[in-house]
Structure 1
Amino acid sequence: MFIFTAFTTCGNIEQTVLKSLTNSSFSGSGYNSLAIIYGVFSASSLIAPSVVALIGPQFSMLISGVIYSGYIAVFIKPITWTFYVASVLIGLAAAVLWTAQGNFLVINSDSSSINKNTGVFWALLQCSMLFGNLYIYLEWNGKEVITDSSRTKLFVALSVLSLVGTAVFILLRKVEQQEEPTGEDEDPLIPSEAVSKEKVASSVNEVTTELKAMLKLFGTKSMLLLSILIAYSGLELTFYSGVYGTCIGATKEFGAAAKGLIGISGILVGAGEIIGGGMFGLVYKNSQLRRTTVIFLGFLVHFISYFLIYLNLPPDAPIVDENGTRLSSYLAPSEKIALLCSFLLGLGDSCFNTQLYSILGTLYADQSAPAVAIFKFIQSIWAAIAFFYSNYLLLTWQLLIMVIFGFTGTISFFLVEKMEAASLDLSEF
């Protein structure tokens, strides 16, 4: 919660902050940085399990937390080359951090406590969208330009907050990993270097095995169909986490309230995620409501939000400079509509993510690790692509791309559910 309060807030505002820089020598882009992060994250997901196996989950989380804090600290005094180097490093750290925390949860849980522990973790993670964005609203409300002093104050606070979260990893209890038993039959004279080489070779074999399993799984008809909706989840992740807040902050019709609204928008996205996750994460198990119903609701909610955003915000809002938007929206921009759309974006995202995890757990119960790895790989790749084109495409085209992928992905999800139902019917004979 501490680390991602800092990082989520940073991602939500960094494009707005960088456009306000008075440092003329800085030429970095927040969109490009986030594209690099998700691209490296996607590729690094393939080797992260081996890293965690070699150095352990606790140390992996500690090192990753330090890198997260370093990325945030770069904004205190931005320099182009350090900004992009930090973007690459945090992409690596993200893959290791997410793998390590999952491993640590499993090690510290059993069949009776895993759901509770995972639920507590997810709830705290989603709360990270509330506190930093609340600070943004209180601090930036009424400011039309983000000054250097205001930026420095904010990112010093976020860096400290991230370091506090990293320090908490030191306090986690030590858990002994399951190792090969040692006894009298072992040769005590075998050098430690030989043992280390054996571990490395074992890790390489593990990576190879996992890659083969992923490739085989990715070639299945169900996974190919689901990959369209997974790709959409990456596109809309980009939009609600980095692009939409920038659009609100760049809408000059909101006046002095525009920058503060970025914070309120982030809070409402988080509220939609929390409410949706609580409702739809449990509804499939506790009622007769089908996954397809929740997915359709998610697409409907997102379609409504995209249509309202299309009418409410200027088309050049994602790419305009600090002087404000030049093109006109179809309606006079409304703060209430903009914030309503923030909530709908979070609510719809929770629909898709909860049901994607649900169907992956059902279809690939015996191959959950490669299935989730494919999910994160596809999602991250498309998030990176979306952050890259966000530098250039008008809001209208970005919304159209998401509508196309969302509609196609929803239909594909329905087909997978129909195939699963047919296979269950056949298994009864």
Structure 2
Amino acid sequence: MGPDGKRLLNIVILGFGFMFMFTAFQTCGNIEQTVIKSFNNTDFHGSGYTSMAIIYGVFSASNLIAPSVVTVIGPQLSMFFSGLLYSGYIAMFIYPYTWSFYTASVLVGIGAAVLWTAQGNVLAINSTDETIGRNSGIFWALLQFSLFFGNLYIYCAWHGHDHITDKDRQTVFISLTVISLVGCFLFFLIRKPGPEAPPEDVTESLLQTQSTESTASSSHQSIGSQALDAFVKACKMFVTKEMLLLTFCIGYTGLELTFYSGVYGTCIGAMTSFGHDAKSLIGISGICIGVGEILGGGVFGMMNKCSRFGRNPVVLLGLVTHYIAFYLIFLNISSDAPLAPEEGTDLQAYITPSVGVALLCSFLLGLGDSCFNTQLLSIIGYTFRDNSAPAFAVFKFIQSIMAALAFFYSNYLLLHWQLLILVVFGFLGTITFFLAEWRAESRRRETDYDSIG
């Protein structure tokens, strides 16, 4: 097998490793608040929302140290050890304690930053100018399939269960832990692509798309100077006009990430009006979100290359899609569903609760999320293409901080207040995105005019 074949095989292995790991972790995040409510152990006082807030908060801060860790131990070991932290978090639910729950949350936040930094490095060294788009697409597709398999398993495992017993919980989380560990050990199958390394500019350009990955490739710098350099560049990038305009839109993606990945599934599982299948519907909801994500990512990713109208129509479509979803959720789901006890809520909203409407909203949440994220990645990559590493670091930092904030307030706010926050931030984010896009388009026209002249 030639170097190109080895690189493609490495990308496929990388994708399958992440697919197994995030089949386990995303499923865990989707069901953990519902599972926690079912604990019979009165000594446990943890909250799934608080845990996810800790994870995203620590993840934001850990972006500063992740490049140094990858530089010291290499991307392969970095992914393996980070994957073990993910597996440990999932395994903790087999016999949960409050202290181990929150300790594991902190460790996963650190592991997440290292994992994604290492992933960017592996993707870079196994790609060239010609294969970078193909490899990114292969990895993204395999990763998104994680939304299908884990949630389908939950549907089958919990079908017809009114209450999640200790045995139900332990069976599910033992299975998820094993699935996660399989993903970890797959990383050891990745081999060096061969003597023909891709050009330096290709490697750096790809690393720039993954948070702070580009600093990891600068091995001639000291570890301390790499982290400091990334921090200083990110601070300078944060105060640019373009990034300040995009802050509201990036922040909105963090808020709605929290809602669709943690809160909404909990709401569906709490609706006793959905009958005995309410808990298992959490899995079907996750699958519908995944369908929306994959469909939107593929269609709008391709449209971005050939659209004459820029990015604004896609972002506007994302806002309209989310507004429709929020309105239907407001009508269909009771306001106390996010905070309901394990036995659920008997309250109804403004229409007779409908499973079909609930799952349609799941699909719309995923579709709208893909609209925003594909266009944000596009405009940041275009606007800051000469120095995009700190720009993507700021992107992940803002998104993670807002996700952490949303998981925190999800402990206390009723559903209609959470939806109101999303509506306001979605509107502000869309307007400021339009302004940033118009600035980018004006600059492109000036560049084209100068090149003609």
Moved more, 199-208 or 3-12: 199-208
> In structure 1, the residue corresponding to 2:163 is in which secondary structure?
coil
1:235 corresponding residue in structure 2: 255
Distance 1:120 1:377 in 2: 26
1:295 corresponding residue in structure 2: 315
1:254 corresponding residue in structure 2: 274
Query: Pick from 92, 97, 100: which aligns with 1:74?
Result: 92
Distance 2:30 2:306 in 1: 34
Q: TM-score, normalised by structure 2?
A: 0.88
1:378 maps to a residue whose letter is: I
Number of positions where the alignment pairs a residue of Structure 1 with one of Structure 2: 410
Query: Pick from 306, 329, 334: which aligns with 2:349?
Result: 329
State whether residues 52 and 99 of structure 1, in contact with CA within 8 Å, keep that contact through their aligned partners in structure 2.
Answer: yes
State whether residues 163 and 343 of structure 2, in contact with CA within 8 Å, keep that contact through their aligned partners in structure 1.
Answer: no
2:131 maps to a residue whose letter is: S
Distance 1:212 1:45 in 2: 13
State whether residues 316 and 326 of structure 1, in contact with CA within 8 Å, keep that contact through their aligned partners in structure 2.
Answer: no
- 1:127 aligns to 2:145 (yes or no): yes
Moved more, 132-141 or 336-345: 132-141
> In structure 1, the residue corresponding to 2:278 is in which secondary structure?
helix
Distance 1:48 1:74 in 2: 24
Query: Pick from 50, 53, 61: which aligns with 2:71?
Result: 53
- 1:30 aligns to 2:29 (yes or no): no
1:85 maps to a residue whose letter is: T
2:216 corresponding residue in structure 1: none
1:341 maps to a residue whose letter is: C
> In structure 2, the residue corresponding to 1:332 is in which secondary structure?
coil
Distance 1:206 1:298 in 2: 37
2:81 corresponding residue in structure 1: 63
1:349 maps to a residue whose letter is: D
Query: Pick from 6, 17, 21: which aligns with 1:3?
Result: 21
1:191 corresponding residue in structure 2: none
1:16 corresponding residue in structure 2: 34
What is the deviation of 1:176? 8.0
- 1:226 aligns to 2:246 (yes or no): yes
What is the deviation of 1:201? 7.1
2:300 corresponding residue in structure 1: 280
What is the deviation of 1:46? 1.6
What is the deviation of 1:252? 1.1
Query: Pick from 328, 333, 340: which aligns with 1:320?
Result: 340
Distance 1:415 1:327 in 2: 42
> In structure 1, the residue corresponding to 2:334 is in which secondary structure?
coil
Q: Identity of counterpart residues, as a percentage?
A: 61
- 1:41 aligns to 2:59 (yes or no): yes
What is the deviation of 1:288? 2.4
1:193 corresponding residue in structure 2: none
Post-superposition Cα deviations, 1:198-229, rounded to whole Å, max 9, x if no partner, equal x7971111111111111111111110010100
Summarize the alignment of residues 186-201 of structure 1 with structure 2, pairs less than 5 Å apart: none
Distance 1:75 1:289 in 2: 48
Summarize the alignment of residues 99-178 of structure 1 with structure 2, pairs less than 5 Å apart: 99-174=117-192
1:350 maps to a residue whose letter is: S
Distance 1:367 1:325 in 2: 51
RMSD of aligned residue pairs (Cα, Å) = 1.5
2:372 corresponding residue in structure 1: 352
State whether residues 130 and 267 of structure 1, in contact with CA within 8 Å, keep that contact through their aligned partners in structure 2.
Answer: yes
Post-superposition Cα deviations, 1:349-384, rounded to whole Å, max 9, x if no partner, equal 000000000001110111121111111100000000
State whether residues 332 and 348 of structure 2, in contact with CA within 8 Å, keep that contact through their aligned partners in structure 1.
Answer: no
What is the deviation of 1:141? 1.5
Q: TM-score, normalised by structure 1?
A: 0.93
Query: Pick from 372, 376, 395: which aligns with 2:415?
Result: 395
Distance 1:413 1:103 in 2: 29
Distance 1:133 1:421 in 2: 41
For structure 1, the 5+ residue unaligned runs are 179-198
Query: Pick from 383, 401, 426: which aligns with 1:406?
Result: 426
- 1:376 aligns to 2:391 (yes or no): no
1:188 corresponding residue in structure 2: none
What is the deviation of 1:286? 2.6
Distance 1:210 1:96 in 2: 15
